């Protein structure tokens, strides 16, 4: 199981950018499309204090925020142990 989960939609350019960066950094992730399932949207809302934008990202089961927060964590070396 991946330690990174991304809640996204099919029309979100920042979601695509997030996935591209994770692939570049060789960090595996699980993508959850909230535009395809009400249950997945409900799960995202519960785990992210009702965030309404995507991407929303969980690392090791903890909500970290979005693209900016993920990039900060990478720059601080906090994702190094997730690299395959």
pLDDT digits (tens, 9 = 90+) for 36-65: 999 999 999 999 999 999 999 999 999 999
Query: Has domain 4-82 been given CATH number 3.40.50.2000?
Result: no
Residue 1: band (very low, low, confident or very high) from pLDDT cuts 50, 70, 90: low
Cβ atoms of 30 and 6 within 8 Å: the answer is: yes
Which pair of structure tokens corresponds to residue 54? 């995507």
Note the pLDDT of residue 2: 82
Whole-prediction pTM: 0.93
Residues 55 and 12 sit within 8 Å (Cβ to Cβ): yes
Q: Token pair of 29, please?
A: 């992730």
Q: What is the pLDDT of residues 10-30, one digit of tens each?
A: 999 999 999 999 999 999 999
Q: Could you read off the pLDDT of 5-14 as tens digits, one per residue? A: 999 999 999 9
């Amino acid at each position: 199981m991946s330690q990174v989960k991304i809640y996204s939609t099919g029309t979100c350019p920042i979601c695509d950018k997030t996935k591209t960066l994770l692939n570049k950094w060789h960090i595996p992730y699980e993508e959850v499309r909230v535009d395809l399932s009400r249950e997945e949207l409900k799960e995202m809302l519960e785990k992210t204090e009702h965030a309404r934008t995507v991407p929303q990202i969980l690392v090791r089961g903890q909500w970290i925020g979005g693209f900016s927060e993920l990039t900060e964590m990478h720059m601080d070396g906090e994702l190094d142990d997730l690299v395959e």
